[in-house]
């Protein structure tokens, strides 16, 4: 079945490009578009068609997958870029960007007005899981679409969590990211504190290794921070954007997010210091004296 279906992947950055490759590997016909065409060009060598416009990519596709930085970029691509207008009557829009609840509701309304099936489907994971096809997809929408969409999600993920109502997946993504950003900031501070106290920060990682407070994410980000290896897996500027979405959602829910407020300030300093394109672990640079 997958060999007869085509997917338009709109947005081929850190996440979109490997997702497109895995979809192609699974047997889908893949067309890719990116605002900066050079970021999509490398996909052609692997047999993926690179389109000049969102409308060109979306025309005749069975699925249109948006993997963009924010809600504004998604709307510009799908409305101004013609992606939504070019979709076939039976095509499904898979909205995989992290955009927050206000934007996802607006995008879903645009789909409704265009009589287009819409799935709220942000993904959990960073660069390596995207490359390995082991993301987690959070999918919400009409359950009648589940069977049609599942082969697509299976090509890019190891797990899919289905929810009933559009918006629930985006909300769950914010909950997950609130934990990821908070623990990333805590790792940066623990490493900086160890070094500031004259301790080898490896002692911190070795001491908690194998205990109830240990986890693979902590060890991975901790080692990267100690080595000052901040190649972007989840860029700090994207994390900063997400912190704002999390705080907006918390405010709407009447929740005091003191930790996330502090994390946002740390991310803001990281980005304003010129480290926005580095990994979120670069929050260390906004924490330690030597930066």
> Model confidence over 12-54: pLDDT tens digits?
999 999 999 999 999 999 999 999 998 899 999 999 999 999 9
Residues 29 and 192: their CA atoms lie apart, in Å, by 47
- Token pair listed for 264: 């946002």
DSSP percent split of the chain into helix, strand, coil, nearest 5: 55, 15, 30
The CATH class of the 171-286 domain is mainly alpha
Q: What pLDDT is recorded for position 291?
A: 62
Q: What pLDDT is recorded for position 1?
A: 44
- Segments of the chain assigned to CATH 1.10.1040.10: 171-286
Sorted by sequence, the CB contacts under 8 Å of residue 157 that are 6+ apart come out as: 123, 125, 133, 134, 135, 136, 137
Average of per-residue pLDDT across 268-282? 98
Alpha helices in 65-114 (DSSP H): 71-75, 83-86, 101-113
Closest CA to 8 of 127, 79, 93: 93
Contact assessment for residue 219 and residue 185, using Cβ atoms and an 8 Å cutoff:
no
For the stretch 156-197, pLDDT in tens is: 999 999 999 999 999 999 999 999 999 999 999 999 999 999
For the stretch 212-231, pLDDT in tens is: 999 999 999 999 999 999 99
Q: What pLDDT is recorded for position 2?
A: 42
CA 264 distance to own-chain centroid: 18
Confidence check: pLDDT of 3 > 90: no
Closest CA to 151 of 139, 141, 142: 139
To the question of domain 2-166 being in CATH 3.40.47.10, the answer is no
Average pLDDT of every residue of the chain: 96
Closest CA to 108 of 81, 138, 74: 74
Confidence check: pLDDT of 139 > 50: yes
Average of per-residue pLDDT across 63-68? 98
Confidence check: pLDDT of 290 > 70: no
- Segments of the chain assigned to CATH 3.40.50.720: 2-166
For the entire predicted model, the pTM comes to 0.94
């Amino acid at each position: 079945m997958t060999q007869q279906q085509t997917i338009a992947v709109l947005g081929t950055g850190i996440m979109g490009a490997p997702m497109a490759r895995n979809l192609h590997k699974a047997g889908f016909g893949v067309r890719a578009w990116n605002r900066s065409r050079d970021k999509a060009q490398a996909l052609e060598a692997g047999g993926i068609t690179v389109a000049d416009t969102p409308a060109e990519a979306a025309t005749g596709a069975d699925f249109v997958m948006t993997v963009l930085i924010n809600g504004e970029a998604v709307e510009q691509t799908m409305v101004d870029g013609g992606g939504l207008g070019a979709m076939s009557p039976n095509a499904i829009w898979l909205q995989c960007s992290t955009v927050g609840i206000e934007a996802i509701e607006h995008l879903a309304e645009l789909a409704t007005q265009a009589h287009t099936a819409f799935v709220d489907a942000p993904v959990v994971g960073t660069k390596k899981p995207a490359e390995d096809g082991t993301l987690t997809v959070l999918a919400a929408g009409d359950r009648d679409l589940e069977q049609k969409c599942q082969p697509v999600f299976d090509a890019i993920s190891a797990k899919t969590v289905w929810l009933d109502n559009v918006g629930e997946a985006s909300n769950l993504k914010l909950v997950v990211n609130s934990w990821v950003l908070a623990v990333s900031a805590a790792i940066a501070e623990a490493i900086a504190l160890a070094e500031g106290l004259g301790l080898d920060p490896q002692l911190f990682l070795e001491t908690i290794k194998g205990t109830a407070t240990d986890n693979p994410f902590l060890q991975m980000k901790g080692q990267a921070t100690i080595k000052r290896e901040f190649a972007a897996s989840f860029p700090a500027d994207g994390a900063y954007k997400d912190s704002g979405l999390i705080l907006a959602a918390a405010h709407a829910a009447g929740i005091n997010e003191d930790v996330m407020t502090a994390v946002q300030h740390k991310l803001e300093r990281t980005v304003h210091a010129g480290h926005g394109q580095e990994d979120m672990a670069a929050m260390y640079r906004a924490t330690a004296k030597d930066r």
